[in-house]
């Protein structure tokens, strides 16, 4: 093999199609684009989602939902994961750095501890947010909690728990009131029905007595 023998492999290159070079070329006149229409014009590019003028799918389907721009996303760590870290890696302090080292969080994450699972070892937890159940479980096990986020405090965790309890109480009271009102309505309807039936019976008895008196009078006259 030498320089004058070098050539590309078969099928790797293609000869360019010569358009609009007379009838004998096989692609004259419309140059392979067909007759008329937007696709035959120069500068045509299909718009994404365009369906020929009819209402496109992304506009036919109704909108739903809402994305809150002020939402704060947290990396959730549960109690069972903390217990596993203590057992396997013998971690004594749960911080963002220790979670990054174990591959459970990244440097820009906000960490929140939730109460799934159980914890038996005492550990120091330094996170951005914590749930009420997780806080109680860690403190019962002899651990301590420190919140790095300045916007929240441990007192606020208690307040949020108390407020949720109050809301649940209000809901239960409302449901109980609804049930009592339903029962009272049922009783009143039953009493009304009984009274109507009694009145109807009394009316029929009076009518029968009157008829008997009339018959007796007629017989005496005869």
What's the pLDDT tens digit per position in 112-154? Answer: 999 999 999 999 999 999 999 999 999 999 999 999 876 666 6
Six-digit token pair at 178? 């609804």
Write the pLDDT tens digit of every residue in 9-20.
Answer: 999 999 888 888
Residue 68, classified by CB atoms within 10 Å of its CB into exposed (0-12), middle (13-18) or buried (19+), is exposed
How high does pLDDT run on average in the chain? Answer: 85
Q: Is the full-model pTM beyond 0.75?
A: no
DSSP 8-class letter at 53 = T
* Per-residue model confidence (pLDDT) at position 35: 92
Share of residues in the chain with pLDDT > 70 (%): 83
Report whether 108 contacts 72 (CB < 8 A): no
Write the pLDDT tens digit of every residue in 143-199.
Answer: 999 998 766 666 666 655 566 666 777 778 888 888 878 777 877 777 777 777 766
Share of residues in the chain with pLDDT > 90 (%): 50
The yes-or-no verdict on residue 92 having pLDDT over 80 is yes
Residue 95, classified by CB atoms within 10 Å of its CB into exposed (0-12), middle (13-18) or buried (19+), is middle
d(CA 132, CA 140): 12
Six-digit token pair at 220? 């005496």
* Per-residue model confidence (pLDDT) at position 68: 94
Q: Where are the alpha helices (DSSP H) in the chain?
A: 57-60, 79-89, 96-101, 132-140, 154-221
* Per-residue model confidence (pLDDT) at position 71: 92
What is the third-level CATH fold of 75-150?
Ribosomal Protein L15; Chain: K; domain 2 (3.100.10)
Worst-scoring range by mean pLDDT, 24-28, 67-71, 110-114? 24-28
* Per-residue model confidence (pLDDT) at position 201: 66
What number is the average pLDDT over the span 43-69? 93
d(CA 125, CA 78): 12
Phi and psi, residue 112, nearest 5° = -130, 135
> Three-state DSSP class for 171?
helix
């Amino acid at each position: 093999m030498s320089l004058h023998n070098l050539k590309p492999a078969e099928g790797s290159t293609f000869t360019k199609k010569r358009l609009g070079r007379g009838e004998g070329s096989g692609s004259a006149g419309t140059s392979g684009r067909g007759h008329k229409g937007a696709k035959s014009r120069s500068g045509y590019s299909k718009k994404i989602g365009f369906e020929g003028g009819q209402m496109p799918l992304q506009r036919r389907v109704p909108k739903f939902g809402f994305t809150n721009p002020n939402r704060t996303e947290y990396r959730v760590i549960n109690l069972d994961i903390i217990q596993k870290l203590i057992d396997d890696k013998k971690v004594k302090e749960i911080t963002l750095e220790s979670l990054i080292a174990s591959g459970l969080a990244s440097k820009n994450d906000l960490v929140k501890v939730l109460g799934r699972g159980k914890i038996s070892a005492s550990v120091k937890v330094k996170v951005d947010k914590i749930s009420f159940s997780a806080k109680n479980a860690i403190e019962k096990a002899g651990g301590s909690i420190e919140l790095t986020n300045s916007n929240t405090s441990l007192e606020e965790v208690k307040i949020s728990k108390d407020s949720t309890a109050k809301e649940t109480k209000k809901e239960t009271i409302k449901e109980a009131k609804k049930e009592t009102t339903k029962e009272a309505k049922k009783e009143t309807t039953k009493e009304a029905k009984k009274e109507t039936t009694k009145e109807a019976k009394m009316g029929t008895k009076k009518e029968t007595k009157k008829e008997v008196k009339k018959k007796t009078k007629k017989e005496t006259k005869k």
